[in-house]
């Protein structure tokens, strides 16, 4: 009986061991299957988490959870790829030289699980910190901040975006392997060289497409798409009947050729009654001349048509003539135009022209040379006609450009001396970092002055402003003709540059601008991508920050071209009018 009990107990122990062994083997097999399906590179995951953490650090403008999720997902995918390359190099060059054996299988699985959990916790912690940083930025800009709970959604979206990018990469990898097999089979390339040859062919194909055919096709399709938008007729833009406007029955530039932005520009703006109500003085009908891309003909260029329109409307007999270089689709800041029209009681003429169908971001990539050529041609044509008149009968000649338009406007001049010899004032708003004249002034600023608030040559000719008070500094001795740049410390269009890749800019090493996060730091490559992402959201902020300059343009005009009877009280009345008009435009346009 005792022997039978012992035998039964041994049988039970062996059975339990078999069960445990069977379940353990099943778990191990299941774990391997999951790992094979996901094919997760844990070194890549670590670097991806690092890239994700960098992407949620503070930048120039605030980001909502959706925008941040898209940006962080792309960054995490890039980091994952870098990690995979690092691991491949390790096993190629370093691991063969190491003599110790690898850890047991259970240790490897434990480390992998620990890595996944740690990366998830680090990502969640960074999202909590990021929500706090975002609240700081929105507070500096007078905007409503986000919550930690809401911002945690960024993690889920980033994971989905990153997984999608990695899936696309793996699809391309399989395509390379397929090409390698076909090359080995049909061209008799050695099996060892076939994958590398396939990768090379695919890379050449992709680069060729994106540098040539694909790029041209993309911008051609984009141009066609935005050309259709350019033809759109909005019910709030009505063909003018007054001869002082392009697009009117008497105009040489036909209404249907002005484009969407041009039609809006000529059909709006203050009339004499509104101007008189604000200033208390008799007013004239302001002249607005606009030439669209479709207005020109093979026989008559845009600049020839513009000069003819100026002559037809009597623009050269007004007190002020302004040449505006537009942005992208031909947009004109109507707040800036209206401000000057109120200031001079309508005795003004404003000329603008269209050089592209593309929005500013795409124009910056594809049309920078085009805007420079267009800006110079237009100014030279008008200047030739203007300078042919007797000096005492010339209107005051001013130039204006905003964003990419400032770059085109600057291109008309070889330098500061040339600029001052030809115009009576220049106002440039939110200039891109690649502006030639702006860069010269910034790099040669007076010692001890900050890049975000520079002083050039003691402010005698050129001044920079983020607020109205800046235009009065450092002294009242501002010689005419005056040049003013409006630029916010938080405007990514002003501060984005390829130099951010490898060098820390002065605007991050010096004391920060008033609306820039105290937690923002420069990291090689990282800051470049962070500010590049901010470009697409530069206007998603309140007025007075980012690329939103609001009624500061009025202060800019006052500083360089105030009429003799100007008063601060009149300025506040005009500010109220142009801000109301801006609210209407944002509502209906």
The H or E element spanning position 34 is: helix 2-38
Counting residues of the chain whose pLDDT is more than 70, the rounded percentage is 81
Average pLDDT along the chain: 86
Q: How confident is the model at residue 8 (pLDDT cuts 50, 70, 90)?
A: very low
pLDDT given at position 95: 75
CA contacts within 13 A on the Cβ side of 388: 9
- Residue pair 287/317 in contact (Cβ under 8 Å)? The answer is no
CA gap 255, 303 in Å, rounded: 17
Cα 507 to its chain centre, rounded Å, is 18
Tens digits of residue pLDDT in 258-314: 999 999 999 999 999 999 999 999 999 999 999 998 998 888 999 999 999 999 999
The H or E element spanning position 220 is: helix 214-230
Cα 225 to its chain centre, rounded Å, is 20
CA gap 385, 389 in Å, rounded: 7
Q: Which of 542, 399, 516 is nearest to 451 (CA)?
A: 516
Tens digits of residue pLDDT in 522-561: 999 999 999 999 998 999 999 999 999 999 999 999 999 9
Rounded average pLDDT over 106-112 = 84
Tens digits of residue pLDDT in 423-456: 999 999 999 999 999 999 999 999 999 999 999 9
Tens digits of residue pLDDT in 124-148: 999 999 999 999 999 999 998 888 8
Rounded (10°) CA dihedral 454, 459, 465, 468: 140
The per-residue DSSP string of 554-587 comes to HHHHHHHH--TT--HHHHHHHHHHHHHHHHHHHH
Does the pLDDT of residue 466 top 70, yes or no?
yes
Of residues 179 and 580, the one with the higher pLDDT is 580
pLDDT given at position 102: 72
Cα 262 to its chain centre, rounded Å, is 23
CA gap 66, 468 in Å, rounded: 34
The H or E element spanning position 272 is: helix 272-279
Tens digits of residue pLDDT in 76-89: 999 999 999 899 88
Backbone φ and ψ for 146, nearest 5 degrees, come out as -95, 175
Q: How confident is the model at residue 91 (pLDDT cuts 50, 70, 90)?
A: confident
What is the three-class DSSP state of 421? helix
Helices (H), 423-525: 436-443, 492-495, 506-509
CA gap 403, 539 in Å, rounded: 12
- Residue pair 487/542 in contact (Cβ under 8 Å)? The answer is no
In sequence order, what are the residues at sequence separation of 6 or more whose Cβ sits closer than 8 angstroms to the Cβ of residue 494?
Answer: 430, 431, 432, 433, 487, 488
Counting residues of the chain whose pLDDT is more than 90, the rounded percentage is 66
Q: Which of 324, 347, 317 is nearest to 265 (CA)?
A: 324
Handedness of CA 270, 274, 279, 282 (dihedral sign): positive
Q: Which of 173, 192, 176, 174 is nearest to 184 (CA)?
A: 192
95-106 exposure pattern, b = at least 16 Cβ within 10 A, e = fewer: eeeeeeeeeeee
- Residue pair 412/376 in contact (Cβ under 8 Å)? The answer is yes
425-429 and 396-402 strand pairing? parallel
Does the pLDDT of residue 329 top 90, yes or no?
no
pLDDT given at position 133: 94
pLDDT given at position 555: 97
Does the pLDDT of residue 18 top 50, yes or no?
no
Q: What share of the chain is helix, strand, coil (3-state, %, to 5)?
A: 60, 5, 35
Report the DSSP beta bridge partners of residue 399: 323, 426
């Amino acid at each position: 009986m005792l022997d039978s009990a012992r035998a039964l107990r041994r049988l039970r122990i062996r059975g339990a061991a078999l069960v445990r062994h069977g379940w353990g083997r099943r778990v191990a097999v299941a774990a391997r299957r999951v790992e094979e399906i996901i094919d997760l590179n844990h070194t890549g995951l670590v670097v991806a988490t690092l890239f994700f953490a960098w992407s949620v650090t503070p930048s120039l403008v605030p980001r909502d959870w959706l925008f941040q999720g898209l940006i962080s997902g792309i960054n995490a995918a890039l980091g994952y790829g870098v990690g995979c390359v690092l691991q491949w190099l390790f096993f190629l060059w370093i691991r063969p030289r190491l003599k110790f054996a690898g850890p047991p299988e259970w240790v490897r699985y434990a480390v992998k699980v620990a890595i996944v959990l740690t990366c998830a916790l680090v990502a969640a912690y960074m999202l909590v910190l990021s929500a706090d940083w975002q609240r700081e930025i929105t507070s500096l800009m007078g905007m409503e901040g986000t919550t930690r709970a809401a911002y945690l959604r960024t993690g889920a979206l980033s994971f989905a975006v990153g997984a999608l990018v990695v899936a696309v990469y793996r699809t391309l990898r399989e395509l390379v392997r397929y090409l390698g097999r076909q090359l080995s089979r049909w061209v008799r390339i050695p099996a060892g060289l076939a994958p590398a040859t396939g990768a090379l062919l695919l890379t050449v194909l992709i680069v060729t497409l994106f540098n040539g055919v694909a790029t041209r096709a993309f911008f051609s399709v984009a141009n066609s798409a935005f050309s259709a938008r350019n033809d759109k007729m909005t019910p709030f833009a009505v063909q003018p009947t007054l001869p002082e406007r392009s697009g009117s029955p008497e105009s040489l530039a036909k209404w249907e050729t002005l484009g969407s932005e041009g039609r809006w520009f000529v059909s709006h703006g203050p009339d004499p009654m509104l101007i008189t109500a604000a200033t208390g003085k008799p007013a004239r009908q302001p002249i607005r001349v606009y030439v669209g891309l479709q207005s020109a003909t093979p026989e008559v260029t845009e600049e020839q048509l513009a000069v003819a329109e100026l002559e037809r409307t009597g623009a050269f007999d007004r007190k002020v003539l302004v040449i505006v270089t537009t942005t992208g689709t031909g947009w004109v800041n109507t707040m800036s135009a209206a401000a000057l029209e109120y200031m001079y009681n309508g005795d003004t003429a404003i000329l603008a022209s269209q050089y592209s169908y593309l929005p500013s971001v795409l124009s910056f990539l594809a049309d920078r040379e085009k805007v420079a050529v267009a800006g110079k041609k237009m100014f030279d044509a008008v200047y030739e006609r203007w300078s042919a008149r007797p000096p005492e009968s010339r209107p005051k000649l001013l130039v204006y450009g905003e964003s990419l338009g400032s770059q085109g406007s600057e291109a008309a001049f070889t330098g500061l001396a040339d600029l001052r010899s030809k115009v009576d004032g220049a106002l440039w708003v939110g200039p891109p970092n690649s502006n030639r004249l702006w860069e010269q002034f910034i790099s040669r600023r007076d010692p001890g002055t900050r890049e975000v608030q520079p002083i050039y040559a003691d402010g005698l000719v050129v001044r920079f402003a983020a607020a109205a008070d800046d235009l009065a500094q450092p002294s009242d001795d501002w010689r005419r003709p005056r040049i003013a740049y409006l630029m916010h410390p938080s405007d990514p269009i002003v501060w984005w540059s390829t130099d951010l890749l490898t060098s820390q800019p002065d605007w991050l090493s010096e004391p920060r601008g008033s609306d820039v996060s105290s937690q923002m730091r420069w990291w090689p490559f990282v800051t470049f991508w962070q500010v590049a992402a901010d470009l697409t959201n530069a206007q998603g902020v309140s007025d007075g920050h980012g690329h939103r300059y609001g009624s500061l343009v009025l202060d800019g005009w006052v500083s360089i071209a105030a009429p003799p009877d100007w008063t601060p009280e009149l300025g506040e009345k005009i500010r109220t009018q142009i801000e109301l008009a801006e609210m209407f435009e944002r509502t209906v346009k």
